[in-house]
Structure 1
Amino acid sequence: MDVTPGQELSAKGRNKGSRTLVPGRPWPAVRTGLAWSGAVLFPAVTYVTFSDGQQGFDLLMVLASLVLAAVVASLLRRRPLPALTLLLLGGVTATMEMRTSEVSYLQVFAGVCAVGYLAAARPRRTSVTAAVLAFTAQMGSLFGFPPDTGCLPGEYGMRNCSSSAWADDSGQSAVLVAVLLIAAWMAGSSARERRTHAEALRSQATARAVTAERLRIARELHDMIAHSIGVIAIQAGVGSRVIDTQPAEARNALATIEATSRETLAGLRRTLVALRRPESESEPGADGGTLDPPRDTSAPPPREPAPGLADVDRLAASARDAGVHAEIRRRGESGPLPADIDLAAFRILQEALTNVVRHAGTDTCRVTVERRDGELSLEIEDDGRGGLPAGTGFGLVGMRERVALLHGRFTAGPRPEGGFRVTALLPLPPVEAR
């Protein structure tokens, strides 16, 4: 296939990435070269502008000086010290050709603004060097090309000015310039420190948010999977022992394993869908997270409500299938709970029952759910071994974290009369706020 010169150029541009020719947009190197060429011409153009300005300013030359000054100022961000040197040199040439107070003020203003900007945008070492350069250039202009102050011309063109008066004025001007430069540097440095501090706070907030979300996902997965895997392991053991002697009991164990596995897979699917959905499409979930549909919104899967205290009987049935009879006691008023408290209460009961099934070594336990004025009380106690083996995992840690996030109180430990007790007290918002 024949390749035209235009196609060949396009292919080369694609291979070189950033060097691709785009109509109307020159290469960055060309733009940079033109900018520095204009910056180098700035002192000369300024000299000519103010030299001719003694008989009247030329509008075109003034515009050229302003444009080139803007170009030099734009280069302060990339090459601060060379650009500042050219800017100060332009101010010195202007002062040299037109010795008026207005031109001196203009030079001081430009230097002060440049130092303040560099103090805010660049490291301290660069900004201090810039301040020293600006002060040196302005002192050179002040003492080398002092502005006219109304002194009468003397013989041979010399000025009949009192040396002491000129020295006093120059000394005051030098102090004023130093104060202005120091003030500009301090203001810029303070702005830079505030920006750096704000960026550090944002980074810390992001890190804390990531950590909190990671812990939330870990708690959710642990509470959801640990309970199911515990039930599956126990039922698998029962089935394997009675498969030859009690086929019906083995079938019941397999049915329980199947139902528990399907429930766990559904929970995992909900969690993974929530994690894969874009943040912009997220909706608040019950545990501070999100319950989200998949990216393909053309056929979203049906959403299942987050579990809550209404599903406690299901937990008791699951524990019963695992060989532990859980006696459920409900006290106090009934009614809907805030979503985050409802989910946290369910997960705490689920993990506590899982620990009873796996570690207590007993076939009974008591679950008390009591709703008092402004507080939800959860208590799970058993008459088993009265403790947890060392290194059993993150169940108690996860429960304690859930309660702490809701500003509640959590206790867990052996009972004096034997067994183990888990207690969680979750504060409830006022009725009018729900």
Structure 2
Amino acid sequence: MSATSAAQLRGWVTPGRCAALAWLAGLLFTVLLRMRLPGQERAEVLAGVVFLRWDGLTMLALATALALRGSFLLDRRPTAGLGHLLAAAVLCSFPLGVTAIPLAQYLAVDVALYTIAAHRPTKEAERAAFLAVGVVLGHLAVRLVAGWTAGTTTALAVLSTAGLVWLLGRSARQSRLHAEETRARAAEQAVIAERLRIAREMHDTVAHSIGIVALQAGAARLVIDKRPELAREALGEIETASRETLAGLRRMLGALRTADTPATSSAPASGASAEPALPDMPGLASLDRLAETTGAAGVRVTVRRVGAVRPLPPDIDLSAFRVLQESVTNVVRHSGADRCTVTVDLRDPETLALTVEDPGPVPGHGREKSGGGSGYGLVGMRERVGLLNGEFSAGPRPGGGFRVTAHLPVPPGAAPA
């Protein structure tokens, strides 16, 4: 079964439809029990006095209408739907001439109980369980008080199934909540790891800039008396490096300061790729090297540069390269494509636009996808772009394949790398 067919089937199978099918199946089973089928000398269960009379058929029709109404409400108002289904089960027991609510007529109630236990809060699930048990016990008590025969064994069987499906629903809810919590925790750890990586890279950038400042300051101190023009030039270099370093810190320090990062953590972001052939602090100038190393992995990377190439601030240059590097790595690992296109748009002087897109899997291509991936690489890219007040998007292309886009603002007058 294809993924599309499975998704369509899951969309069709709703709790309300399951409850309606359970009621109709239970009703059909009840009717068949009261009919002599081929190979039988007589019916398994004797029909009630009013079963085939107009009043019995009317009660069966009203019970079915209540059950279908309850099934319709189950998807939007589960508790109200459960009430309708319980009323239908009680009403249906009268024309059948039984001593307790039959298990076949309680199947739809079991579906409703499971739905509420699996998808609703604890208090609402507990109220639903008390209501379902209370109706069965109340029906039994009324028969006992009236002096009628009471089907205690049947009632116990009905209550046992109700308790079982309620416990299964609560277990399914706990499992789902645990899985969601695990995914959220993993995504949070991916963000923290990416922030730590950015912090380390920012540290290297700042350390490099401060080293230049210290070197130029020392040179200026030595020549300020004999060669003031050289001291003036050194002071200009100091000003440029200081302004650039300060601008980078202002853009990223505020967000990094709020990250809840353990002091001993040094793990890289999940899904981040390490390219040993690339320098420790790469930038967009390393794109051709990245394309070359990616080609060895079986994916041809076409690099397009739109607009005049110009130097960028170190933090923006580094973040732009990391986004493109991670996007290309995702193409290699997860897309099944044999090529991708990397576009660097520099036409807008205030914005750096990045795009990575692939055409999707190639039938019969030798290289296969390595897996669906955790999705935390996208989390890391979005976090990195967000720290620079940029815009990030990733999703399928209209014609097939996948596209990642990022727009990084370039501060006006920022000193180049």
Shorter-chain TM-score category? 0.3 to 0.5
> Given the two structures, how large is their TM-score scaled by the length of structure 2?
0.43
> Given the two structures, how large is their TM-score scaled by the length of structure 1?
0.42
